[in-house]
């Protein structure tokens, strides 16, 4: 028997399948999806079994054997292996990079797979275990093929269990427990509390956590007395890392659906009942009850004994979404996102792998969760660019979801109040089935929205970032005890420092970008490479002391608002949410302590649902309009509409104020009137004229090197390769410098390929990619190929 194996080496010349012989003792043990240790040159490295065959096409005597298995159960399913291969081909990346993206980080750390007797082991099993002279716990890779073969039926029956101990980032978590010995009782005399505690502990045949005993009112002294008398033993037991263990969730019962929601539910249910791989676009205004539709569809899927996958775009959205899902489905929910520790994420992943959770909720990478028998995949706020990975492998979660949907014959639901133009265009052509929710589920009307021209404000003498209309509206909410959400999509204190004598602006030495002033750290920071410089009161260029700061970020606005309104403020941006758990902590503080103002970047614009928020203000609606990207207008419209939807979601009516210097721009005007259809038509006309998506597909080539000349030579070569390989219907834009020409000491040049149909394109892309992988080895010239990019920057 032979195994086809992908080895854990990222080099391009190793991006292929290698054949290894399965040792005789492991032929019944090794399966597709197993991690194994194999000889590779002079080293022993990790690999993944992707196929098993009876013969190979060359001399078997030259094939090396697998050294040992690293797992008892395969970590990859056949479906995920096929998915990894398809994504590697489509997104022009290595097979191993996709596999390692699919698996949790903990498995890529140093880890040990341990076997031990389970609580269900029989006396016969214990005889076999001890007859092999095995210790209480034994590492899988130290077992011989004969021993593994002998233990395999015991593992299948659950009499021997497998445990992963992570030695790099985290270890299995243990907790102190108390185990009754059940020895005959002596005379307790007047020690009534000890007797009462012993009765309590003996209710548990195995053990009870010491923390639970103490929570029930017993003291450490009473526990120690029982241990001293031999009635109780202290033991350490494995305790799974559950980030929500201490939380209490109030039960949330299904709500009655309105006519629009019921229609959407019925159509999706038909797809679930008939095992159809159908993609739905659930287009509903903010507050229209999309989440309730999701929840009831998931309940239907669970009733059919299938599983559900729910994706959200931002980690900031996860706490509220988790609350709703835990309240509805309890412990049947597993949560996967980057805000968890490696250990927590691994334990949640294992919960899914072992089919102990029917519902998975998480961010982008959760689309690879090892769920089986999928019944539905839901992608909330489907328009968000965070669903597109910006590093290799540069996959898009929606495309992965559609792959998995076809494999399991289940529907995909794409939900949004502001769908991407591509998704809406597909629904217009019938590729997706569009379902409309045009009315809010609770309140009858959307919030009243108005636009303030900040140029006019300045002409009136108001130079503050807060217009008079917004100031009055905030004061009104403070007086009523209601809450306000303010958006400014720019963190830091000031955009840049400038010398008013010579005009010098300190730039990052590594990137072509000015440094942002952060007052709390009293430093100038680069938001691209992380470079940090101290703040000086003299100009580096002319030694003048006439140095000041220009522009406004969230840090400065927070200071301004405190002075203006004299109230508490919660600020949410990358600076305040970098530590674990801070998203949820800040949002809980805002809700539970009734803080008057929540100020933040775009992370607060989506998904948040608070009944007391009646005012939303956008301090600078123009932030994204001037980006050198063809999606700038679309992103502006989406952001404004989404944040406006945070106001008046329950009984109280809402108000929205946009502050802008471009009040007549159609993205802002149509966001004010919440007219998606008009925006779609207007933007589509621009896209058609400029020959962009959804009329054309795109591939972005970005070359980077420390020397400009090398970048220009490489992009010129790529341009020639494309001209020689694609049809004359394709459009090649470039080569040209990237909008930000230098990042982290690397100059960047790019080419944009636009096309409608290029049958040989994948082969062309792989050929170019392989050539520049070799170039990278020689002179560190890097090429990044982004298929279906979300940013042209």
Instruction: Detail the residues annotated as belonging to a binding site for Zn(2+).
Output: 499, 502, 508, 511, 526, 529, 539, 542
Q: Are 415 and 645 in contact (CB under 8 A)?
A: no
User: In sequence order, what are the residues at sequence separation of 6 or more whose Cβ sits closer than 8 angstroms to the Cβ of residue 769?
Assistant: 12, 92, 783, 785
User: In sequence order, what are the residues at sequence separation of 6 or more whose Cβ sits closer than 8 angstroms to the Cβ of residue 461?
Assistant: none
Tokens of 587: 């949002």
Tokens of 619: 């301090």
Alpha-carbon gap, residue 573 to 583, rounded angstroms? 9
User: In sequence order, what are the residues at sequence separation of 6 or more whose Cβ sits closer than 8 angstroms to the Cβ of residue 744?
Assistant: 510, 511, 528, 529
- Return the closest-CA partner of residue 488 out of 555, 584, 565, 575: 555
Radius of gyration (C-alpha) of the chain in whole angstroms? 30
3-state secondary structure of 120: coil
User: In sequence order, what are the residues at sequence separation of 6 or more whose Cβ sits closer than 8 angstroms to the Cβ of residue 180?
Assistant: 198, 201, 202, 204, 231, 232
Alpha-carbon gap, residue 718 to 751, rounded angstroms? 8
3-state secondary structure of 87: helix
Alpha-carbon gap, residue 177 to 201, rounded angstroms? 10
Alpha-carbon gap, residue 21 to 26, rounded angstroms? 10
Alpha-carbon gap, residue 304 to 313, rounded angstroms? 27
| Sheet with 111-117, side-by-side order of all strands | 137-139, 111-117, 160-166
CA distances from 372 to 307, 344, 357, 765, 772 (A): 7, 21, 11, 33, 38
Cβ neighbour number for residue 723 with a 10 Å cutoff: 11
Cβ neighbour number for residue 44 with a 10 Å cutoff: 11
- Return the closest-CA partner of residue 674 out of 448, 441, 514, 521: 448
3-state secondary structure of 547: strand
Q: Are 384 and 310 in contact (CB under 8 A)?
A: no
Task: Quote the distance between the C-alpha of residue 742 and its chain's center.
Answer: 28
Q: How many helices (H) and strands (E) does the chain have?
A: 23, 33
Task: Quote the distance between the C-alpha of residue 588 and its chain's center.
Answer: 21
Which pairs from 406-410 meet CB under 8 Å and 24+ separation? 406/277, 407/79, 407/82, 407/83, 407/374, 408/79, 408/277, 408/373, 408/374, 408/375, 409/275, 409/276, 409/277, 410/271, 410/272, 410/275, 410/276, 410/277, 410/301, 410/306, 410/374, 410/375, 410/376, 410/377
Mark residue 88 as left, alpha or beta (left: phi above 0; alpha: psi -120 to 50; beta: remaining). Answer: alpha
Helices (H), ranges, 450-568? 454-459, 468-480, 554-565
Residues making up the binding site: 499, 502, 508, 511, 526, 529, 539, 542
* Angle (nearest 5°) at CA 351 between 314 and 411: 60
User: In sequence order, what are the residues at sequence separation of 6 or more whose Cβ sits closer than 8 angstroms to the Cβ of residue 64?
Assistant: 20, 21, 38, 39
Alpha-carbon gap, residue 576 to 557, rounded angstroms? 14
Task: Quote the distance between the C-alpha of residue 417 and its chain's center.
Answer: 20
Alpha-carbon gap, residue 288 to 255, rounded angstroms? 13
Furthest CA-CA distance within the chain: 98
Q: What is the DSSP annotation of 24-71?
A: GGGTTT--TT-EEEEEETTEEEEEEEEEEES--SS-GGGPPBP-EES-
């Amino acid at each position: 028997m032979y195994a086809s194996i992908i080895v854990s080496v990222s080099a391009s010349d190793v991006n292929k399948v290698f054949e290894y012989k399965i040792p005789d003792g492991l032929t019944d043990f090794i399966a597709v999806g197993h991690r194994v240790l194999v000889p590779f040159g002079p080293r022993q490295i990790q690999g993944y079994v992707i196929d098993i065959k009876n013969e190979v096409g060359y001399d078997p005597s030259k094939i090396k054997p697998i050294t040992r298995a690293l797992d008892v159960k395969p970590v990859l399913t056949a479906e995920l292996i096929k998915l990894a291969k398809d994504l590697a081909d489509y997104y022009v990346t290595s097979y191993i990079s996709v596999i390692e993206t699919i698996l949790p980080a903990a498995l890529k750390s140093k880890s040990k797979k341990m076997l031990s007797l389970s609580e269900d082991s029989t006396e016969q099993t214990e005889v076999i275990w001890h007859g092999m002279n095995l210790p209480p716990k034994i590492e899988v890779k130290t077992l011989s093929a004969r021993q593994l073969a002998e233990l395999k039926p015991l593992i299948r029956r659950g009499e021997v269990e497998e445990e992963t101990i992570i030695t790099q980032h985290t270890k299995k978590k243990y907790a102190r427990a108390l185990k009754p010995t059940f020895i005959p009782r002596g005379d307790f005399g007047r020690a009534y509390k000890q007797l009462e505690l012993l009765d309590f502990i003996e209710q548990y045949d195995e053990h009870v956590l010491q923390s639970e005993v103490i929570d029930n009112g017993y003291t450490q002294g009473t526990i120690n007395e029982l241990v001293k008398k031999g009635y109780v033993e202290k033991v350490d037991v494995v305790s799974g890392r559950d980030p929500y263990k201490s939380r209490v969730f109030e039960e949330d019962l299904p709500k009655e659906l309105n006519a629009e929601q019921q229609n959407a539910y019925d159509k999706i249910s038909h797809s679930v009942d008939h095992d159809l791989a159908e993609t739905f676009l659930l287009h509903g205004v903010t507050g229209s009850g999309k989440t309730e539709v999701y929840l009831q569809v998931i309940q239907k899927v669970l009733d059919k004994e299938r599983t559900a996958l729910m994706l959200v775009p931002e980690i900031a959205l996860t706490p509220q979404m988790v609350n709703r899902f835990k309240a509805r489905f309890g412990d049947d929910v597993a949560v996967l996102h980057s805000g968890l520790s490696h250990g927590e994420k691994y334990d949640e992943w294992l919960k899914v792998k072992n089919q102990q959770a029917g519902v998975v909720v998480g961010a982008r990478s959760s689309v690879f969760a090892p769920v089986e028998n999928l019944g539905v995949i839901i992608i909330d706020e489907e328009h968000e660019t965070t669903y597109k990975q910006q590093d290799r492998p540069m996959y898009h979660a929606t495309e992965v979801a559609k792959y998995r949907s076809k494999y399991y014959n289940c529907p995909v639901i794409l939900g949004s109040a502001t769908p991407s133009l591509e998704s809406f265009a597909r629904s217009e052509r019938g590729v997706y089935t569009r379902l409309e929710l045009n009315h809010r589920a609770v309140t009858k009307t959307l919030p009243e929205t108005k636009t303030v021209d900040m140029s006019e404000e300045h002409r009136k003498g108001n130079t503050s970032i807060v217009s008079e209309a917004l100031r009055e509206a905030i004061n009104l909410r403070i007086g009523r005890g209601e809450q306000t959400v303010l958006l400014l999509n720019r963190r830091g204190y000031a955009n840049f420092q400038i010398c008013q004598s010579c005009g010098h602006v300190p730039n990052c030495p590594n990137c072509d970008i000015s440094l942002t002033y952060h007052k709390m750290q009293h430093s100038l920071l680069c938001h691209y490479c992380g470079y940090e410089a101290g703040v000086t009161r003299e100009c580096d260029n002319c030694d003048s002391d006439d140095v000041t700061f220009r522009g406004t970020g969230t840090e400065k606005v927070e200071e301004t608002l405190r002075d203006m309104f004299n109230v508490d403020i919660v600020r949410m941006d990358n600076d305040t949410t970098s530590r674990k758990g801070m998203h949820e902590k800040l949002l809980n503080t805002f809700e539970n302590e009734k803080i008057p103002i929540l100020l933040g970047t775009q992370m607060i614009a989506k998904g948040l649902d608070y009944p007391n928020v009646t005012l939303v203000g956008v301090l600078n609606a123009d932030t994204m309009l001037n980006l050198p990207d063809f999606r700038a207008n679309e992103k502006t419209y989406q952001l404004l509409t989404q944040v406006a939807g945070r106001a008046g979601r329950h009984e109280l009516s809402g108000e929205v104020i946009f502050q802008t210097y471009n009040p007549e721009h159609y993205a802002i005007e149509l966001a004010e009137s919440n007219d998606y259809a008009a925006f779609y038509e207007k933007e589509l006309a621009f896209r058609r004229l400029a020959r962009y998506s959804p009329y054309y597909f795109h591939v972005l080539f970005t070359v980077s090197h420390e020397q400009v000349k090398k970048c220009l030579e490489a992009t010129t070569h790529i341009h020639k390769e494309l001209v020689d390989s694609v049809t004359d219907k394709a459009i090649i834009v470039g080569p040209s410098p990237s909008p930000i020409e230098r990042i982290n000491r690397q100059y960047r040049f790019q080419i944009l390929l636009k096309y409608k149909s290029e049958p040989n394109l994948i082969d062309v892309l792989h050929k170019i990619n392989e050539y520049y992988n070799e170039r990278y080895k020689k002179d560190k010239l890097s090429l990044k190929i982004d298929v279906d990019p979300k940013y042209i920057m």
